[in-house]
């Protein structure tokens, strides 16, 4: 079996990237190989995580040539799939269509709740707590031209405690949902299931 080449796009600390690296080491991801990490922030700790795992890490500055530079890097390295893991930029409709069903994202809620434009990071968890919902979670989905609007791959629910804060809920959703379903979703997509 030929393993698929996976690129992970990041903007920050890279906790989801680390979950993917760990899952690859444990054999959870066996149909793909994380072969590239691209950050649009030079100081992103995710690039250090990539270096520590012997994965090529590249910084591409956000600007008018970002997507053209990214496409060249992806094509040069024969990337099959792209994972958005804490990547805090919206990709253009043209880019998304070029990589139709080749880009997956993890979102920290049960889509269609608390998603779309403006819903990222702590804002998602603040909205869930403000609404008073008792269950939240995470969703992996294919990326299309609508923010958080692509076909759902997997979801996992997480119960909200009465004393949760946005920060405690964020950590709980990462540990109990994101770090579980993201590697499973990468394996599912790479294996063609």
Active site residues: 107
Lookup: tokens for 109: 């809620």
Question: What distance in Å separates the CA atoms of residue 90 and residue 5, rounded to the nearest whole number?
Answer: 22
Distances (CA, A) of 85 to 21, 49, 106: 12, 13, 7
Sign for the pseudo-dihedral over CA of 46, 3, 93, 151:
negative
Vertex 116: Cα angle to 155 and 107 (nearest 5): 30
Lookup: tokens for 150: 């692509």
Contact by Cβ (8 Å): 117, 140: no
Lookup: tokens for 32: 């793909």
Question: What distance in Å separates the CA atoms of residue 17 and residue 165, rounded to the nearest whole number?
Answer: 24
């Amino acid at each position: 079996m030929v393993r698929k080449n996976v690129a992970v796009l990041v903007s920050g600390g890279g906790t989801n990237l680390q979950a993917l690296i760990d899952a690859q080491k444990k054999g959870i991801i066996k149909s793909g190989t994380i072969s590239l990490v691209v950050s649009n922030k030079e100081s992103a700790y995710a690039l250090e995580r990539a270096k520590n795992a012997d994965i090529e890490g590249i910084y591409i500055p956000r600007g008018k040539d970002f997507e053209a530079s990214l496409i060249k890097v992806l094509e040069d390295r024969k990337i099959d799939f792209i994972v958005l893991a804490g990547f805090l930029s919206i990709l253009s409709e043209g880019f998304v269509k070029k990589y139709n069903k080749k880009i997956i994202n993890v979102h920290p809620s049960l889509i269609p709740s608390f998603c779309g434009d403006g819903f990222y990071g702590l804002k998602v968890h603040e909205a869930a707590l403000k609404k008073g919902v008792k269950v939240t979670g995470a969703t992996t989905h294919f990326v299309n031209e609508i923010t958080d609007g692509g076909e759902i791959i997997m979801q996992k629910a997480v119960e909200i405690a009465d004393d949760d804060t946005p920060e405690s809920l964020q950590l709980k959703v990462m540990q109990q949902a994101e770090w579980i379903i993201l590697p499973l979703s990468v394996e599912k997509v790479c294996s063609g299931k």
